[in-house]
Structures are given as C-alpha cells and as structure tokens.
Structure 1
C-alpha cells in the first residue's frame, strides 16, 4: 500500500464555533483513506494549512502509510528550523491521526487497541455556557440553571470582558486588546462579580473552570486567580499566561490555590 495524496477538506459549518472545520484525508492506492482534523482559530490559518498540506502530500506520495513513526519524523524535520510550534505541527498531527486511521482499517481493529488498550471506561466532560446570552444577571442565572438541570457537573467560561466569536478572523489575544498582559480594575471587578453569580447559581457541587486564554502577565494572573478564588471558589485556572513560558506558569501556580490547567497549545511529546 502506498500513499497517493493528502487532501485538505475545508467545510463550512454553523456547528463550529469558528464557522468551519478543517479535515485532512490521506488516500492510498488500495482505496483506503484515513481522516484527521486540525481546525484552527482563524480562517486565514485554515487556508494557509491547506496550502502546506498539499505540499506535504507531494513529499510523502509513494510512502508506506504503515510507517507512521518514520512519516512523523520526515514531515516534522522538514520544518525543523521553523520551531516545534505552529503550522508544521498542526499538519503533522492531522496526518498522524489519519495514518493511524488507515492502520486500524487495514487491521480491522479500533485504534485504542493498537495503542495499548483503553485507559478508562468513562471520562468526565464539562460544558460551556453560551456567553452571548449573558445580557443581564437574570439571563446569566437562566443559562447556568439550564446547564445544571441538564445534569452537567462542570462548566467552563471566560469571565473577562469583550468575549465572543470573531467575525473577521482576528485572534482573541489581539482582538481583546490585552497585548500588554494587564487588565483594568473595572474589568477585574466585573469578572469577579460574574464568577460569583455563576457559583451562587450553580451551587457548591459544580466545578467552575476558568479559561484566561494565555492573555496575562504573571502579576495580573496571580491577582485575577486569587480574586476568582475568593469570589467563586474556582476549580481551575486555564492558561493564565502565554503558554510558551513554563517558568511564568510555575510562578503563578506557586502563588495561587486553584490548579493551573495547561496543554492545548503545548506541542509534541517533548
């Protein structure tokens, strides 16, 4: 079996927060295809990835799709001087998923069996409130009550002002204007008040999870986390600082009580 092409599929969808999905299909000469998915946060990034994926397809055409580790390194090391984060790793990830999909189809086994067997039978999931509905205190209460009554025991939100989907494809960090890593006292107070209201509505047995999207410097992140701990007994604080700096994350962790959640922008096993 040989790889014949790598095809990006950009699919418009109202079900996606970003308005579209980016799927990747690896095709073979025996008619078996594997699928991966790497939807990014802007339309510009998705379209750039499509171009890169087509070029990678030319480089791996004729390769054996069963040589998954070999192909991972062949693609990854072709971008080695670009660093380990960004478009190159996005493409490696999608192709790797698709190659495992092909392997499972060829062997007639679910992928988790090929990777050593299932780790657990169940996993806890949280949900997100629709913050577009947060037009008043009463509206917030209705949205949170609906979530709790649906049976969810964890919810995650971003309490900091100026949230919502981008219509022009501009990244959240730039759109919100927090490029210096700080926040006004007014915005801090509003975040604490919203978190307190959600905790009061959800009750003590629901996990309240905060996502800061990597926007803040260390002093601001510490102050915000402590404020939300006091206001809403939060259960984690996700990406308080830009994810590149593990030292900054450690400084925050050492000064707050809530666990620090991190990982969605960490890349490769290293």
Structure 2
C-alpha cells in the first residue's frame, strides 16, 4: 500500500492523571504512604509526590500524515521529553512513509544512544513509536492488534492493582496486587506489619484468589528475602519489583531464595531488548513486566516478547491501558493483563488514562472483549478540550 508521507510531529504536555497516573490529588491510594527507595528520608516517607514522582507530567505525541490523518499517543516525560521529540527525534519521522516504523525506531534509538538508552529518552521514543502505530492503523483502517499478528483469544482477563484486592475480587478480577506500605527503615516491626497486612487481605479474599505484593524498588536483597519467606504462609503469588531495576545480581539471588511456588516479577522500569536480555539470561525473574510507554514502544515490546518467549517466560505488561491491550491480545505468552485501579479508594473501575483518552475501554467483571479493540489504530481519541501545551516547536 502507498501511504501519504508524514509531514509533522508535535509534542504536548498535560498535567493531572492520565498517562502520568501518579499525578493525582491528595487522598488517592497511589500516593498514600507507600514504600519507596526514598522512604529512608523522613521528609519523603508519606507521599511519593513529595519527592517528585509526578514532576514530569504527561507527554502527548502527534504525528500527522499529508492527507491530514493524525496518530497520537500518551506516555510520561512531560516537557523534557517534549523537547527531545521536537528538537531531535522529529527529524527521523518527517518525510517518512508511516509504514517504515522499524527504520524510524532504529534511527531514533541509535541517534540518541550517547545520551539515552533508558529513562526519559526511551519514554520519548516510546511516545513517538506508539503514535506511529496509531497513525498506521488509522491509515490502514485496522486496529493495531490486527497489524501485529492478530488476536489469539476472544477476551482479555485482568488482575487489579490497588489498595483493595478484596474489592477487586468482588469486581471479577482474577487477582489483586497491593502496595507494600512498610519500608526497611521501619525495621522488623514494619516487616511484621506488612506480613499482617497480607494475612488480613488473604483472609478477606480466600485461598484461591491471586494475591501479589508490589514493592516499588524499595527493598534490598536481605529484606526482600526475609519478607518473601515471612509472607509465604499467606500464599503470596508473587513479589514484584523488590529491588533497584539495575540490581540484576540481586534479582538473580532473590529468585533462588524465595520459597518454592512464589514468583519473582520485575521489569516495569526496565527498557529495550538489551535490558530485558539481562533479566532473562541471568534468570532474574519468572515474569517480565515491561511498560509499552517506557520500554521503547510497541516496536521494541514485540522484540522483548519474542526474547522472553524463547526463554519460556511470561510477559505481563505494566498498566498502560489500550497500548498494552492490543499487544496482550496477540501474544500466547501474555495470558492476562494488569489493570490499575485509578479510583482514589480502589472501589470502582474507571478508565486508567482518564481524562486524556476518549473511548478508553475498561474491563467488565474483570474481562474485556477483543471486539472492543476493533477500531482503527489504538481505538481511542485525545480529549482536545484539555489544556494541551506545546512548549517547543522544531
């Protein structure tokens, strides 16, 4: 097929929820006394916003074809990422065939490698990549999942991440992942409180419901090992992102040390096939959890998934709404998906990337029919009534 060339790339910044899901107001469970690597500092213990977890805000990337068709995507990165998109990455996109996504990704990555490779730069590349897939789907009038191999199942099933796994069970989710609220700085007493929290939640959800613990990089190897052993009696399905994402050796040791039957998961803050190759070849975990908006976009996630498949590992993407749904629909080694409970009290199902996406599908009774993804591109629209700010122009 012949497609109109790309004529423009635009990067906007938004504040308040959406892709930067930590950018919430006070009282939201996602910012309520959760253990973090900053918990050792009293000034930054109670709130993740206090140390700037929401400092960047949402990045919105648009790519426009010569016939006026616009593809877009949202991720995190805010104004610094917008600068990178407009001032550097756009040169590799303008004038290109929208179908040539592979070469555009390759040029963006290797042109920025000397100052990128992970973090903010890869977030920016991810945003551009997802916008390109959205544009191509709109031009072809096909959903993204149809362009990457087609669905292998009729519906997606979800586990819920939030403060109330017991309510998630009532809503039909297959499992619930709760945040760790007590950090190593709080000593053995804090660990016992964490184990008691898990035990209390297990008593509410029963023995057959999946119960997981998200540690958000807050622990060291010794503490994580002791916590996993202490929590084993409560049938914890997995312990997630217990260590710094750069501590591959610690993850390798943790996987060997946890009780039999407990899984070790990580990868939310890992990026590109090279980072995940370390996790996989070093046997660091049982499940990898790339975020498609942070790991390099869909183009890179497909490579990561193939690598994981060859190692016999599952790929359960971190959150990311429709951007991961289209991927999960097409992969045999992604049998279920994560849903972030963005209601402040985790007591109802609301769109994950609200208010930025219009038409964002949400699971019903913990399930989502693939037919709800059968719209061109990623199948959602950008709410242009929001305060979109374009700080830079190329």
Match for residue 87 of structure 2 among 49, 55, 58: 55
Equivalent residue for 1:139? none
SS at match of 1:81: coil
- Comparing 208-217 with 18-27, which one deviates more in the overlay? 18-27
Equivalent residue for 2:117? 84
SS at match of 1:124: strand
Equivalent residue for 1:93? 126
Alignment of 1:46 onto 2:78: yes
Q: Which has the higher contact order (CA 8 A, sep 6+)?
A: 2
Match for residue 30 of structure 1 among 55, 60, 67: 67
Q: CA deviation at 1:30?
A: 1.7
For 1:168-183, list aligned pairs within 5 A. none
Largest Rg, 1 or 2? 1
- CA deviations 1:221-252 (Å, max 9, x no partner) are 1111111223x211011111111232211100
Q: CA deviation at 1:72?
A: 0.3
Match for residue 265 of structure 1 among 269, 272, 278: 269
Shift in CA distance, 183/104, structure 1 to aligned 2, threshold 3 Å: same
Shift in CA distance, 149/116, structure 1 to aligned 2, threshold 3 Å: closer
Match for residue 258 of structure 2 among 256, 259, 265: 256
Q: CA deviation at 1:269?
A: 2.4
For 1:62-81, list aligned pairs within 5 A. 62-81=95-114
Match for residue 135 of structure 2 among 80, 91, 102: 102
Alignment of 1:222 onto 2:225: yes
Q: CA deviation at 1:123?
A: 2.9
Contact 1:183 1:220 in 2 (8 A): no
For 1:160-239, list aligned pairs within 5 A. 160-161=181-182, 184-230=187-233, 232-239=234-241
SS at match of 2:273: coil
TM-score between the two structures when normalised by the length of structure 1: 0.78
Consecutive unaligned residues of structure 1, counting only runs of 5 or more, are: 40-44, 131-142, 162-177
Shift in CA distance, 54/144, structure 1 to aligned 2, threshold 3 Å: same
SS at match of 1:62: coil
Equivalent residue for 2:347? none
- CA deviations 1:41-66 (Å, max 9, x no partner) are xxxx4221122122135423223322
Q: CA RMSD in A?
A: 2.2
Structure with greater helix percent: 1
Looking at structure 2, the residues matched to 110 and 70 of structure 1 have their Cα atoms a distance apart, in angstroms, of 21
Looking at structure 2, the residues matched to 74 and 245 of structure 1 have their Cα atoms a distance apart, in angstroms, of 29
Q: CA deviation at 1:204?
A: 0.8
- Comparing 10-19 with 75-84, which one deviates more in the overlay? 10-19
Contact 1:228 1:234 in 2 (8 A): yes
Contact 1:65 1:99 in 2 (8 A): yes
Looking at structure 1, the residues matched to 186 and 114 of structure 2 have their Cα atoms a distance apart, in angstroms, of 35
Shift in CA distance, 152/50, structure 1 to aligned 2, threshold 3 Å: same
Looking at structure 2, the residues matched to 94 and 203 of structure 1 have their Cα atoms a distance apart, in angstroms, of 40
Shift in CA distance, 32/267, structure 1 to aligned 2, threshold 3 Å: same
Looking at structure 1, the residues matched to 208 and 75 of structure 2 have their Cα atoms a distance apart, in angstroms, of 34
The number of equivalent residue pairs is 234
SS at match of 1:50: helix
- CA deviations 1:47-98 (Å, max 9, x no partner) are 2112212213542322332211111011111111235211121111111111
Structure 1 outlier segments of 4+, above 6 Å? none
